[in-house]
Amino acid sequence: MKFRKYTYPNAEAWETQKALIVQTDEEGNESYNQSVVMVVELGHLVETPAVLDEEGEVVTEAVLSTDYCVDILWRNEPHADFVPTWVKPVGIHTFGSKHAAEYAKAYCEANPDAEYCNPPAPEEL
Amino acid sequence: MATLFDSASLALIPSGVKDGKVYSIKPTDGSGDFTFSRGTDTATRVNSSGLIEKERSNELLQSNTFDTTWTNSNTTETSGQTGYDGSSDAWLLTATGSTSAQIDQAKSFSSVHTFSVYAKANTSNFVELVTIGGGTNPRAWFNLSTGSVGTSYSTIDTNIESVGSGWYRCSITLNENITNYRIYIADADDSVAVTIGNSIYIQDAMLNEGLVAQPYIETTTAAVYEGITDNLPRLDYSGGASCPSLLLEPKRRNLFTHSEYFDGWTPSINGTGSAPVLVANTSDTLSPEGVNNAYKITLDAGAGTSLSDQSMIGSNGYGSLTIGNKYTFSIWMKGAVGGEELLSRSVTGAYTKHTLTTEWKRFEVTETASITSFNTSLGLRQAILGTLNSNITFYAYGAQLEDDGAGGSASYVSSYIPCMGTSASRAGDAIDLSTLPTLENNFSLHFKFIVKSDGVSERLYFYSDSVTGGQIQFFVLDSRKTRMFHKGLSSESTTSLTDNNITAVGDTYNFVLTIAPNSIKFFANGALIGENTIKVPTAIDSILDFENSQGLLMHGLYPTTLTDAEAIALTTL
């Protein structure tokens, strides 16, 4: 299994790409095909949470990212048309520690010069 | 005397499982065994001891081979020493320099995690566990002569536990981005000075997620994962059950980044309130997991009685909410003395009051989101739902705010998904049997389960005939009913056979479908519920999508049309 992260300029762009991994049964019900184990639509990430007043009413709306974020756990190799976004491991969401480790390894293979993959030499204490 | 069971061609009573497999007790040749998949290692179950069980792992390599993969500095490592477990698997770690005598392993890890090793004094009395990273290098000294924790820096918790014969398991728990794990020999507390030639014994190093050291797992060239792994079917004993059910749940996401580490939540103090006092890994009580990883939380709202007087903790996550969708907040809590009242709020501006007892209870609130970012608060706030006691002490474990992770609702609580620094998701459980011997014309289906889901329509099973396209589908509906659908051929539309009211979550539902040419009957909990004479499916040869939030207790197939009396007997609880 392969854990990868993706960002899209908006939800509509994700819907377009999503069609590549969606199947429709004879009754018109949509589901993901066997290429994926799980898809989690993180959506527009919260950059600043909403502010509520003492009665619980929203005083200031949350500020959300413009990007639409999606995490996919692929059953085998990722679909070639899906271009991953290499977020520093493991970002804000995971499918478990084993998959997080796989993501971190792939991240360093794709970004060998990243600071995460080249930690400073341990200091003497 | 022959019994109904003798005539079953397939009988699944969840008891034997392995990774990717659920065994049927009939037939015995393996042809009736179901394949199982989930794919994510974030699932948990309630085990036969009534305790929450997770996946466990050791992320270190060569966990008890300290002369490979590990790098040494000013030490020698000698194997073959008598260990804490009576083996000869321990190592003598001897200083060859007068300072910073240590072994280390490079490993990048970021989450709430615990680094541990078994150690025993020899000519040195101290071991120091050090983690490098996060700018703080969390570390602690342990006195192996007195069995006490010495100085520590930047840890969540430190622990030393005697395991006999002078051996101790020493551990540090931290929440940092770490790149290197070290074991030092030391002659004194808060010092890396050591006499050349001095030594300690060590054995079985471990690095695992979570607030406490898990039972040791041996590793060699790769991390090892045990317990509730990716594709292990979950035999669940929730509710004090003496016999397990097979837990089949849909996908879920826990939006919290910290579900157990409540220091990762944000204090909210106002008016006369005081800062919450949080104690990790309290020794006051075992958690629902059966270990000392619960939090002790003391809140004091002070003497004020206005809206402004509060002492709370809260969590704001990254995840935006979908207004109009349902989310379910849950958390295990118990009071120090019982009767404590506190409030929670998650995806709306409204609060819910909870009254604690001295027993652990999972409190659940399902609400429809009215805001786009969740703003979970837990604690004391006056004048919202009456006046609460001004101060309380309670214990907390396992917070969860769940949705389905794909823009859909979570209208009921599901099993616990631990989050140790990031939000986490659990994929849906699915079992299927695609090579079922074809049953034709006269056959019966028996299904018994514990109702788990509440308030959502979910397909529970789906039998099909791959030749004709005929189907039998069974749903649990959000109207608190079950509904059977069937169609005879793929060209025919699916029609509803019958509805039947179900009872409450946690109750057992037991039904039989008997099928004969031109007759299909549905029995539930000891009574004939409905029958039909049209579009009778004539065959089934596979069971698919046997999934969703139920606890499967039994599934049987019969190559005959059971009589009404037999069906009633079989479904009588």
Q: In this predicted structure, what is the pLDDT of residue A54?
A: 72
Interchain CB contact of A28 with B (< 8 Å): no
Q: Are residues B389 and B458 in the same domain?
A: no
For A109, list phi and psi in degrees, rounded to 5.
Answer: -70, -35
Q: Are residues B383 and B476 in the same domain?
A: no
Mutation choice for A interface testing from B107, B141, B425, B429 by most A CBs within 10 A:
B425
Residue ending a domain, among B394, B426, B458, is B426
Q: pLDDT-based confidence at B544, cuts 50/70/90?
A: low
Q: How far A8 CA sits from the closest chain B CA (Å)?
A: 15
Tally of CB atoms within 10 A around A100: 24
**B64 falls within a domain:** no
Q: In this predicted structure, what is the pLDDT of residue B184?
A: 97
Cβ pair A92:B422 closer than 8 A:
yes
ipTM of the complex: 0.95
The residue-averaged pLDDT of B380-392 equals 94
Q: pLDDT-based confidence at B491, cuts 50/70/90?
A: low
Q: In this predicted structure, what is the pLDDT of residue B551?
A: 80
**pTM to 2 decimal places:** 0.93
Q: How far A13 CA sits from the closest chain B CA (Å)?
A: 15
Cβ pair A101:B59 closer than 8 A:
yes
Q: Give the separation between CA B119 and CA B349, rounded to whole angstroms.
A: 51
Interchain CB contact of B42 with A (< 8 Å): yes
The residue-averaged pLDDT of B232-236 equals 95
- Whether pLDDT at A55 is above 90: no
Segment 192-211 of chain B within 8 Å of chain A by CB: 192, 209
Residues of B in contact with A98 (CB under 8 A): 41, 57, 223, 225, 229-230
Q: Are residues B540 and B454 in the same domain?
A: yes
- Range with the lowest mean pLDDT among B12-21, B217-226, B285-294, B463-472? B463-472
Q: What is the CATH number of the domain that holds B330?
A: 2.60.120.260
Tell me the C-alpha to C-alpha distance, in Å, between residue B408 and each of A22, A44, B319, B482, B537. 16, 15, 13, 21, 33
Strand-pair category, A63-64 with A46-48? antiparallel
Mutation choice for A interface testing from B320, B322, B325 by most A CBs within 10 A:
B320
Q: In this predicted structure, what is the pLDDT of residue B535?
A: 58
**B244 falls within a domain:** no
Residues of B in contact with A116 (CB under 8 A): 108
Strand-pair category, B527-532 with B519-524? antiparallel
Residue ending a domain, among B426, B457, B479, is B426
Interchain CB contact of B32 with A (< 8 Å): no
Q: Are residues B439 and B505 in the same domain?
A: yes
Q: Give the separation between CA B168 and CA B184, rounded to whole angstroms.
A: 15
* Closest to B409 measured CA to CA, from B363, B458, B368: B368
Could you say which of A26, A49, A124 has the minimum Cβ distance to residue B375?
A49
Interchain CB contact of A9 with B (< 8 Å): no
Could you say which of B348, B349, B406 has the minimum Cβ distance to residue A40?
B406
- Range with the lowest mean pLDDT among B118-127, B195-204, B416-425, B527-536? B527-536
- Nearest residue on chain A to B180, alpha-carbon basis: A122
Residue B463 structural domain: 4-39+430-571
Q: Give the separation between CA B126 and CA B444, rounded to whole angstroms.
A: 69
Q: Are residues B408 and B363 in the same domain?
A: yes
Interchain CB contact of B518 with A (< 8 Å): no
**B436 falls within a domain:** yes
Q: Which long-range contacts (CB under 8 A, 24 or more apart) does B236-241 make?
A: B236/B45, B236/B46, B236/B415, B236/B551, B237/B45, B237/B46, B237/B47, B237/B48, B237/B50, B238/B46, B238/B551, B239/B450, B239/B506, B240/B50, B241/B450
- Cβ contact A96:B44 at 8 Å: no
Residues of B in contact with A45 (CB under 8 A): 318-320
Tally of CB atoms within 10 A around B66: 24
Q: Give the separation between CA B270 and CA B331, rounded to whole angstroms.
A: 24
Residue A110's H or E segment, with its range, is: helix A97-110
Q: Give the separation between CA B529 and CA B514, rounded to whole angstroms.
A: 12
Residues whose CB falls within 8 Å of the CB of residue A116, separated by 6 or more in sequence, listed in order = A88, A89, A104, A107, A108, B108
**B247 falls within a domain:** no
Q: What is the CATH number of the domain that holds B495?
A: 2.60.120.200
Residues of B in contact with A119 (CB under 8 A): 106, 108, 133, 179-180
- Nearest residue on chain B to A37, alpha-carbon basis: B39
Interchain CB contact of A56 with B (< 8 Å): yes
Give ∠ CA B552-B558-B559 in degrees, rounded to 5. Answer: 150
Could you say which of B106, B132, B307 has the minimum Cβ distance to residue A54?
B307
Q: Which long-range contacts (CB under 8 A, 24 or more apart) does B481-488 make?
A: B482/B509, B482/B511, B482/B524, B484/B513, B484/B522, B484/B530, B486/B520, B486/B535, B486/B536, B486/B537, B487/B535, B487/B537, B488/B535, B488/B536, B488/B537, B488/B538
Cβ pair B319:A73 closer than 8 A:
no
- Cβ contact B320:B407 at 8 Å: no
**B48 falls within a domain:** no
| Dihedral sign of CA atoms B60, B415, A92, B375 in order | negative
Q: Are residues B384 and B510 in the same domain?
A: no
Q: Are residues B416 and B465 in the same domain?
A: no
pLDDT of B191-214, one tens digit each?
A: 999 999 999 999 999 999 999 999
- Range with the lowest mean pLDDT among A35-44, B273-282, B459-468? B459-468
Residues whose CB falls within 8 Å of the CB of residue B266, separated by 6 or more in sequence, listed in order = B313, B314, B315, B316
Strand-pair category, B423-426 with A93-94? parallel
Burial of A83 per CB tally in 10 Å (0-12, 13-18, 19+): exposed
Residues of B in contact with A27 (CB under 8 A): 494
- CA B545 to mean position of chain CA atoms: 22
Q: Percent of chain B at pLDDT above 90?
A: 65
* Per-residue tokens: A105: 């390894």
Placement of tokens 């214990």 in the chain: B395
- Nearest residue on chain A to B44, alpha-carbon basis: A96
Q: In this predicted structure, what is the pLDDT of residue B18?
A: 94
Q: Are residues B457 and B401 in the same domain?
A: no
Between the two ends of chain A, the Cα-to-Cα distance in Å is 39
Average pLDDT of every residue of chain B = 90
Three-state DSSP class for B454?
coil
Interchain CB contact of A125 with B (< 8 Å): yes
pLDDT of B148-178, one tens digit each?
A: 999 999 999 999 999 999 999 999 999 999 9
Burial of B437 per CB tally in 10 Å (0-12, 13-18, 19+): middle
Residue ending a domain, among B366, B392, B426, is B426
For B12, list phi and psi in degrees, rounded to 5.
Answer: -115, 115
Report how many Cβ contacts below 8 Å link chain A to chain B. Answer: 150
Q: Are residues B405 and B277 in the same domain?
A: yes
The residue-averaged pLDDT of B265-292 equals 96
Q: Give the separation between CA B548 and CA B546, rounded to whole angstroms.
A: 7
Q: Give the separation between CA B172 and CA B205, rounded to whole angstroms.
A: 12
Q: Are residues B289 and B415 in the same domain?
A: yes
Cβ pair B405:A40 closer than 8 A:
yes
Q: In this predicted structure, what is the pLDDT of residue B477?
A: 65
Average pLDDT of every residue of chain A = 91
CB half-sphere exposure, A104, CA atoms < 13 A: 22
Q: Are residues B378 and B259 in the same domain?
A: yes
Could you say which of B55, B111, B318 has the minimum Cβ distance to residue A45?
B318
Segment 68-97 of chain A within 8 Å of chain B by CB: 71, 73, 75, 89-97
Structural domains of chain B, count: 3
**B15 falls within a domain:** yes
- Range with the lowest mean pLDDT among A59-68, B216-225, B327-336, B347-356? A59-68
pLDDT of B510-522, one tens digit each?
A: 889 888 887 888 8
Segment 285-314 of chain B within 8 Å of chain A by CB: 307-308
Q: Which residues pair with B76 in a beta bridge?
A: B94
Q: Are residues B214 and B76 in the same domain?
A: yes
**B46 falls within a domain:** no
State the alpha helices, DSSP H only, in B198-260. Answer: none
- Range with the lowest mean pLDDT among A33-47, A59-73, B428-442? B428-442
